[in-house]
Structure formats: structure tokens, C-alpha cells
Amino acid sequence: MGRVDPLSSLLSGIRAEGSVVTHAVLSAPWTIRFPDDAPLTMITVLRGGGTLLLPDGTERAVGAGDTAIVCGPAPFRLVDRPSTVHSPHVTYEISCFTRDAECTAQELGGIHWGTDEEEATALIVGAYRASGHRHERLLRALPPVLVMKEDVEVCAWLETAAADAARFSAGSQALMDRLLDWALVCTLRSWFDQAGAEAPSWYRGLADPVLGPALQAFHDQPAEAWTVASLAARAGVSRALFAKRFTKLMGRPPLAYLTECRMDEAEALLTDTDLSVAQIGRSVGYADAFGFSAAFKRHKGLSPSMFRTAAAA
């Protein structure tokens, strides 16, 4: 079995798909509306800059070399300057996932080349679809918007790739979608690395030299009958030391964390698959459906069957 880590698992249901602005260049004043209800939108500023306007009134400036990730689904705007919003300006819209929306690398919301490239803002934008609900745990670990500074070389490379995709050679859309997927993973990893104590416990734990091997073993094989002793053995420390360190870093005892992860995985499987309750229970470490159902109801407030019915409705 391949190695599975929480971030990879949570990102498994999120993909860029036909949602690329390839090398859009805008001349001020301008506004881009994002009404898509996308769970994640990523904007990389190659040149120029602007200001993100979020629904709660938050304003976040982004400049050349910045990559911003905005958590949905609420609509938001990117403007050249907040002061131009209520004055005459050009308004664009990126709508890849709304009804009857056409979203391709050829044309996206009418965005086109500006008249003065020296003064214009150049962007690459990816709006991300989600299949199922696995990604929701990731969104809960992120702020409404995060901004990371990219290396000049990375921006130049992305701009070249976008320009190449704009030529519409075979496979160009798939190429840009996969590049955006790669860029999303890199940006999130960089943000988690810099977030320190603000990063989710499952990310901090994997980087810990003691907890990391034990957590990796659990996430690789969640159906195993793990105990504190067996996890401590994977970590190469005593049971008492492992339990103390785990609780301090992760904010909960080892078995509480394992149960929480198993219930989150079971929730995703109940929502996103047609597996039976018994099959899901076995996949997350419960020998029988009764024991799994009791544990699930204790943690989620509903039996697995009732939860599945409610989710479908």
C-alpha cells in the first residue's frame, strides 16, 4: 500500500478542471467577480496587483509574485483598487461552475489582453471543483484567504506554461489543470510550514520526529487495531512518553485522535460512496457494524444510516 498522509487525502477530492484563466492581462480600472461557489479559488499575480474584497468586508492586497487562496463558497471580488469599485470601470466575471457557464482556456468570462501590458496586471486563476465532502476538513483548517509569496522563477515558469497552453495544442487544458493542482499543493504546504502553531495538528504531527512515524503508520493502515502501545512502538519511545507528547502536540490523547480521524473518514465514505455500513466500518477499523454504528452515533449524533439519508437530502 502506498503512503497516505492527511493533506493528500483531503486534497483527493479537489481538482482544477477547465477553470483556467491563461495569462489574463487587465488594464485598470477593473473588477473581477467570482460568483462560482467554488470551494477554493487560487490566484497567482504574475505582474501588477490588486485587492481582494471578501464578503465579510476583508480587504487583502496582492502584488506581483503573490499567490492567494480564497476559501468559498461565498462570492468575492478582485479589484485594481478599492477606490475604483464605485466609479466607471470594466467588470469581468469568472463563472466556471454555474449553470450554462462556459469555462475553457480559450476564453473565460470575457477576460482579454489589456491595451498597455507594461501597466497591466497579469493573472493566472484556478477555480477548484470538489467531488464529495472530504475536502471540508481541509477548508476548516484554512483562513478565509491566505497569501504566499512565490519565487520570481516560479512566476516566470507559470507565465510561460500559461502562454503555451493558450496556443491550444493537444492536451493544453489538461496540462494547465494539472499544473494548477501542483501549485495548490505547493502553496498549501508552504503555508502550513510557515503557520507554526496555527497549522492543523494533523500537519504538525507528521513533521514531529517522534509522532511522525506513528501517525504515518496509522494513516497508511487505519483499519489496523492500533493501540497506544503499538503506536509508541512505531515511534520508538515508551508508551507513557508517546501519550504525553502526543496529547501536548495534538491537543487530544492518541486514541481520541484515531477515533476522530476514523469518524471523519467514515463520514466521507457514507456521503461519497455506496459502500454498506458494515463495509465502511471494517475499512476504518471496526470488526462489526454494530460497534461502528454505536461509535459513529456517539461522535456525530446520528447513526450511519440516518447520516447518509440526511446527507443525500
Write the pLDDT tens digit of every residue in 107-117: 333 344 444 55
pLDDT score recorded for residue 64: 87
Task: Say if residue 82's pLDDT is above 70.
Answer: yes
Confidence bin at 244 (pLDDT 50/70/90)? very high
Confidence bin at 295 (pLDDT 50/70/90)? very high
Grid cell 454504528 is found at 293
Task: Say if residue 158's pLDDT is above 60.
Answer: yes
- Check residues 87 and 227 and name the one with the higher pLDDT: 227
pLDDT score recorded for residue 17: 56
Rounded mean pLDDT, 21-30: 70
Percent of the chain's residues with pLDDT above 70:
77
**Radius of gyration (Cα) for the chain, nearest Å?**
22
Q: What is the mean pLDDT of the chain?
A: 80
Task: Say if residue 30's pLDDT is above 60.
Answer: yes
CA distance 288 to 306: 18
- Check residues 102 and 276 and name the one with the higher pLDDT: 276
- HSE value, Cβ hemisphere, 13 Å, CA-based, for 182: 9
- Check residues 163 and 238 and name the one with the higher pLDDT: 238
Rounded mean pLDDT, 12-39: 70
Rounded mean pLDDT, 20-29: 66
pLDDT digits (tens, 9 = 90+) for 186-203: 888 888 888 877 788 888
122-149 burial: b if 16+ Cβ within 10 Å, else e: bbbbbbbbbeebbbbbbbebbebbbbbe
- Check residues 310 and 131 and name the one with the higher pLDDT: 310
